[in-house]
Amino acid sequence: MAALNVLMVGTGEYTTGFVGGGASGSDKKVGVVGLTLFDLRRRGKVGELSMVGVNGTKYPAIREHLHKNITLAYNNLDTSFKSYPADDAKDPDAYKAAIDALSPGDAITIFTPDTTHYPIALYAIERGIHVMITKPAVKLLEHHLALLDAAEKRGVYVYIEHHKRFDPAYWDAKARALKLGDFNYFYSYMSQPKFQLETFKAWAGIDSDISYYLNSHHVDICDSMVSQLGYVPTKVSASASKGVAVSMGCHESTEDTISLLVHWEKKDDPSKRATGVYTASWTAPHKAGVHSNQYFHYLAKDGEITINQAKRGYDVADDAAGQLVWYNPFYMRYAPDEDGNFNGQSGYGYVSFEKFVDGCRAVNARELKPADLDAKGLPTLRNTIATTAILEAGRRSIDENREVRIESKDGVWKLV
């Protein structure tokens, strides 16, 4: 199959690991998107690479950062890419010129603020370009459905980067849930340290919230587990705490922690109901020791599953850190192999991208259709409708101080 040309939309932490003039202070010091695609290019699955942001003046420093922290670290791994806009320009619409430079069958990755996902994705889809969108796909259910309609008309593959689905423990739990009978209860928690709000201060509480950013992981995981049993969400009520982020200089509307209470029903037997509680926070302590607490408890008729993926039994004592630190090499393994090459191909962050690239190449080669990829249970646009419905319902529940119902019948979804 032919190599896939990819445009990376967004030049921030997740794409390059470059934040505020230097390497990110998080666990993504060299990013995820760029490093993964550079390695997939080395392996022959990816062809031409390009990148687009709003501020072209960052590119000289980004290139230096990538050369120092990737090329020199991984056996001269090629980190070259074409960039938009020019190094002396700033242009919020630069993504249009960058997408226009692609050909039908090429692909883009979107790692930008949540409010920009819809217009960027739609612009690409209408030009026959495959699309990967970081979670959440979009903020509004109507936008999700509009993208789905556009993608099906153009025959392109749209994939949501829900990498937690490929965490080996979570993947195994999904399979085991099938054997435990009817769904009864799900509780999840995910958090990040307060210093992340320095990275996100420009949009936190303005363009999006912590539920869209982090609850999206476990809402999707739960949906992927229980939808296979015939359960759909029917109503959502949400609650938010506030005060810490605002005291750090974030916008006055920024909430600290958001909890969603979701009611689920079995489609073929509405008398069978279940409850999901999803909590996310970005005001965990600075010295939490883990970049992201992440765990859930799943209760079913014939058993239960509990997963805590925060510490993973791997801790490092480092005088420079001044504390014990728990790393997560199962997500992105940055240590090189015995030949000096990048060696993180088995990390579930990498696997998520490779599955998207493989899907695009298969569609381009006419070996598969996008509907075939839906049928595989991958986090496609069609397979993540419930997640968007729940997240928007949660936001509306807080803003409107009420319970929000989700209706889904004959493939038609709406919030009431």
Question: For the residues 161-171, what does the mean pLDDT come to?
Answer: 96
Summarised one tens digit per residue, pLDDT across range 332-353 is: 999 999 999 999 999 999 999 9
Note the pLDDT tens digit of each residue in 125-153. 999 999 999 999 999 999 999 999 999 99
Say whether pLDDT at 16 is over 90.
yes
Average pLDDT over residues 58-67: 96
* Beta strand 82-84 pairing with 107-110: unpaired
**Res 22 pLDDT > 80:** no
Confidence of residue 41 (pLDDT cuts 50, 70, 90): very high
Q: What is the pLDDT of residue 165?
A: 97
Residue 28 pLDDT class (50, 70, 90 cuts): low
Record the tokens describing residue 388, joined without a space.
Answer: 């968007």
Domains annotated for the chain, with CATH where assigned, are 4-162+350-375 (3.40.50.720), 168-329+384-415 (3.30.360.10)
pLDDT, residue 25, reads 63
pLDDT above 90: residue 323: no
Pairing of strands 82-84, 46-52: parallel
For the residues 299-310, what does the mean pLDDT come to? 95
**Rounded to whole angstroms, what are the CA distances from 47 to 102, 109, 305, 353?**
12, 14, 41, 14
- Residue 322 confidence (pLDDT): 83
* Cα(46)–Cα(30) distance, integer angstroms: 19
| pLDDT class of 183 with cuts at 50, 70, 90 | very high
The pLDDT value recorded for residue 94 is: 98
Q: What is the pLDDT of residues 219-253, one digit of tens each?
A: 999 999 999 999 999 999 999 999 999 998 889 99
Please give the structure tokens belonging to residue 133.
């969108």
